[in-house]
Chain A
Amino acid sequence: MSARLRSAVPAALILPGFLLVAGLFVWPVAQLVATSFGDRAGALVHYVKIFTEPTYLRVVGRTLLLSAQTAMLCVLLGYPLAYQLNRAGGIGKAVILVCILIPFWTNLLVRTYGWIILLNPQGVINGVLRQLGLIEGAVPLVYNTTGVLIGMTQIMLPYMVLPLAAVMSRLDPAVMRAARSLGASPAQAFLKVYVPLTLPGVLGGFLLVFMLSLGFFVVPAILGGPRDLLLAQLIEFNINQTLNWPFAAALSTVLLAATVTLYWIGDRFFGLGRLWGAR
């Protein structure tokens, strides 16, 4: 095989993927951004609307808040899970992985409707609480932000746990021993050495979950209530109901810009790209 041919083969293999990404992703996104600026009344009308009308500002604010809450919950639940995943051997590791990954592999709709069965006023959780005499009536766990938060956290948890566990596994165990030999109790060694050294993983995971949550549609649409609309739902509403595509495009562009900015911050300061081996 000639040198020329040898370098041509990988190029040919990359081509279909490249065309797919360029044709089906980059081009439509460019169109989308163009559409958002393309109104005859002025390039920025839709953006002015988003950032001045309280209704839309509230949606943006609510989306940011819910995404942050989801990411925070994922940190709180994910840190101990990742820690155990990294320490456990054989069977323990498998059990934790299965618990995290089975929901991950399960169909999104199935999983989300599953939550309704558990969370609705006549559902399993309220039933148990009533049986125990802890409540009368029902705690509202679904068709509101609580429901969305629960569903989102479950879906996002692997995006926190897996990169974090990878960061933890790269930590040299001798460093923890060194802390102990220098006079630190196990708790002090954990707080003064383990936590600071795994913090980049926490911040990276937080940003990743936050970013992914910003644009999430299915869970809020099924588990959310009619009064707490999120950005993705607002976009869907403008596309399917009011047919205001330029406004939907502007909303999407805001979402895209926020995501790209967050990714840049994460990559620049917390090595987000490294978390999944991008460099």
Chain B
Amino acid sequence: MTGAAVQISHLSKRYSDFVAVDDVSLDVAPGEFVTLLGLSGSGKTTTLMAVAGFVDLDAGRIAIDGRDIAGLPPEKRDLGVVFQNYALFPHLNVFENVAFPLRMRKWTQPAIEKAIGRVLDIVSLGHLATRRIAELSGGQQQRVALARALVFEPPVLLMDEPLGALDRSLRDQLQTEIKRIQRDLGVTVLYVTHDQEEALALSDRIAVMAEGKICQLATPDEIYENPASAFVAGFVGESNFIDVTMRGQDGPLATVAPTGIPGALFTATTSRAAAPAQAQAVMAIRPEALRLAALQDTPPCNAIPGRVALREFMGATVRLTIDTELGPMIVRDGRVSEAARFKAGDTVRLSWNERDALLFPPR
């Protein structure tokens, strides 16, 4: 099985006067794993179901390997779909659920048995073939749904929040498995989730969606390090946001005045063309980019005093909430770092590198 390319161009869908999907374009390369990541209601499912053939589009074109599939009913599109909550057939056992697409394709019984033996091994369910669906755990149902969507070797697999109903540890485990299966089979995957960690871990590229639009399409690293907007900076990973006023700009470096501290000046990085002086902006800093030190040290620039309000031990990392004149700031550092030594109540100095302070238009 080899993956096919998926081209989505200028997709739009409105429900009465509500725009659910707004001019979405997305090219997925053969064998690529692309995730639609967004809050609930951002149009992810609608986009995915449009590719599957269940949404009457108002505008747009969808092509698989260059072939326009707009006119094809769902059963002729030959795409594997894993639905939210699995949508297994409760009246059939595991074997017959997985056999369903093969029976529809009129495969012979020996061919069906061979294919199912193989696919159930891939999802480690070989021993459960005769079980009823109601007798399976959530994780097992999820594997059956995956097997059923893969057994007819579709070139493209669509998955809508496949891990949404499972608990954390099971989710991590299945996440790894989904990635492994996708690599082994070379199938193209278009994946939907609202969980940013899941998206970061699984995807070759992520399309961050909000209000029916794609607001950034890039690799996980790029999205995390170079978010396109304050929204993305806050939605993918954690960020501290500081309201500022632009004072001057020299290439990517800018001087800004924080709204909360009269007279203070910080330096920060902007990817945009020069913003006019006095323009409002928001500065985003990742929790792990903030450094903590004892207050008496000589103050560098880009620093503010604060007091540790809360110290949360997270295992590998420590998360501290620092009360400052700019409001509460989150700091995250390793378990054995210098920052981890501070306790609640300590007075500290927060500082950061100008490269890690990103400027965005106000939200």
Contacts and interface: CB of A to CB of B under 8 A. Distances in A.
Contacts of A183: 75, 78, 101, 104-105, 152
A101 interface: no
A254 B52 CA distance: 57
Nearest to A182: B101
Contact of A184 (B54, B88, B104): B104
Contacts, number: 66
A244 interface: no
Interface residues of B, number: 27
Given A188-B104, A196-B91, A197-B91, A180 B85 contact: no
B262 interface: no
Given A174-B85, A188-B104, A180 B75 contact: yes
A88 B75 CA distance: 24
Contacts of B149: 181-182
A183 B54 CA distance: 13
Interface in B77-135: 77-81, 83-85, 87-91, 100-101, 104-105
B87 A197 contact: no
Nearest to A181: B81
A28 to B, nearest CB: 43
For the complex, would chain B's binding face be called helix, strand, loop or mixed by DSSP majority? Answer: loop
A22 interface: no
A193 B101 CA distance: 13
A180 B73 CA distance: 8
B75 A177 contact: no
B138 interface: no
A179 B79 CA distance: 12
B148 interface: yes
Contact of B75 (A175, A184, A196): A184
B305 interface: no
B54 A177 contact: yes
Nearest to A173: B87
A177 B82 CA distance: 11
A181 B52 contact: yes
A187 to B, nearest CB: 11
Nearest to A185: B75
A188 B149 CA distance: 18
B75 A178 contact: no
B266 to A, nearest CB: 51
A172 interface: yes
A177 B89 contact: no
Q: 7 shortest A-B CB distances, which residue pairs?
A: A183-B104, A182-B101, A174-B87, A178-B87, A181-B81, A180-B74, A196-B91
Given A179-B100, A180-B53, 19 more contacts: A175-B88, A177-B52, A178-B89, A179-B89, A181-B52, A181-B74, A181-B75, A181-B79, A182-B75, A182-B100, A182-B101, A182-B148, A183-B101, A184-B75, A184-B104, A193-B91, A197-B89, A197-B90, A197-B91
Interface of A: 172, 174-175, 177-185, 188, 192-193, 196-197
